Amino acid sequence: MAGKTLNLTLKVWRQKGPKDQGGFVDLQAKNVSEDASFLEMLDAVNEELVAKGDEPIAFDHDCREGICGACGFVIDGEAHGPMKSTTVCQLHMRNFTDGATLTIEPFRAQAFPVIKDLMVNRSSLDRIISAGGYISQNAGNAVDANAVLVPKADADEAMSSATCIGCGACVAACKNASAALFTSAKISHMALLPQGQVERKERAMRMVAAMDAEGFGSCTTTGACEAACPKEIQLTNISRMNREFFVANVTKREKHKDGGAG
């Protein structure tokens, strides 16, 4: 597979820390193998920086198999770069042309403060999950897995929503920095399964409230999120979330405050 090489100019966002003012810096990437991934190209640039005693470009990455959701930044205005349904770690250099100039910057959103260079803090997404993105099921006493049948179509659709990797590209691609696609994927996953029914309304209300509290913007259904999503999470999830939220609100009951007799 040893093939051609390319030379590129990179305009990379450098920012020392959350409080520093960042800016673009020009760097050269030389003799990049077209078989290398985008992150391997950055690794090589970083090796040169370190050899000169400069600090390498900080970026999040881990599994490099497109599944952990750690990687991701914006290349030429597109979250995860130009390939459809591809994370940056799975983006290969054969998709770029020799001599090109690429602009690389972090995912930008108020709820994703920059940590350093291309690395942002996405813990707001974890807080949305802890507000209800689960089924309350203590360990050790679950009924036999086949005691509850799930139609294949429902299981498949739940799986398609559950496959979200939480990378935050949807937020970065949205002009309002909305986390609706992420939140709705989790709400859908659980609303589609029988196990998720008991807490369905509570979940929708709590997760939407948590999303708003984190400072994510509102969804105006432009679909930029769906276009940028490396896992092809669909916009229909957002419609489902809106429906879940609406139904939950119009049918909500006051919580029972009676305690049990002791």
| Site residues (CB under 8 A) for other proteins, limited to 72-131 | 83, 86, 90-92, 94, 115-116, 119, 121-123, 125-126, 129-131
11 binds other proteins (CB under 8 A): no
In the complex with other proteins, the residue whose CB is nearer, 94 or 243, is 94
What's the CA gap between 65 and 89, in Å, rounded? 7
Q: Of 193, 211, 225, 233, which lies in the binding site for other proteins, with binding defined by CB under 8 A?
A: 193
Q: Of 16, 30, 243, 252, which lies in the binding site for other proteins, with binding defined by CB under 8 A?
A: 16
56 binds other proteins (CB under 8 A): yes
In the complex with other proteins, the residue whose CB is nearer, 166 or 217, is 166
Give exposure, 59-93, as e/b (b: 16+ Cβ within 10 Å): bbbeebebebbbbbbbbeeebbbebeebbbbbbbb
Which one of the spans 22-30, 101-109, 152-160, 238-246 is the region binding other proteins (CB under 8 A)? Answer: 152-160
We find the least distance from the C-beta atom of residue 220 to other proteins, in angstroms, to be 27
178: Cβ contacts below 8 Å, ≥ 6 apart = 170, 171, 216, 217, 218, 219, 220, 225
Which one of the spans 72-80, 148-156, 245-253, 254-262 is the region binding other proteins (CB under 8 A)? Answer: 148-156
How many CB atoms sit inside 10 A of residue 127's CB? 14
User: Are 218 and 235 in contact, with CB atoms under 8 Å apart?
Assistant: no
What's the CA gap between 228 and 222, in Å, rounded? 12
24-43 binders of other proteins (CB under 8 A): 33, 35-37, 39-40, 43
Positive or negative: CA dihedral 134, 172, 110, 118: positive
Residue type, 121: N
To 10 degrees, what angle do helices 180-191 and 152-162 make?
Answer: 150
User: Are 86 and 66 in contact, with CB atoms under 8 Å apart?
Assistant: yes
53 binds other proteins (CB under 8 A): yes
Q: Of 9, 25, 62, 243, which lies in the binding site for other proteins, with binding defined by CB under 8 A?
A: 62
We find the least distance from the C-beta atom of residue 84 to other proteins, in angstroms, to be 11
In the complex with other proteins, the residue whose CB is nearer, 40 or 212, is 40
162 binds other proteins (CB under 8 A): yes
How many CB atoms sit inside 10 A of residue 222's CB? 14
We find the least distance from the C-beta atom of residue 250 to other proteins, in angstroms, to be 25
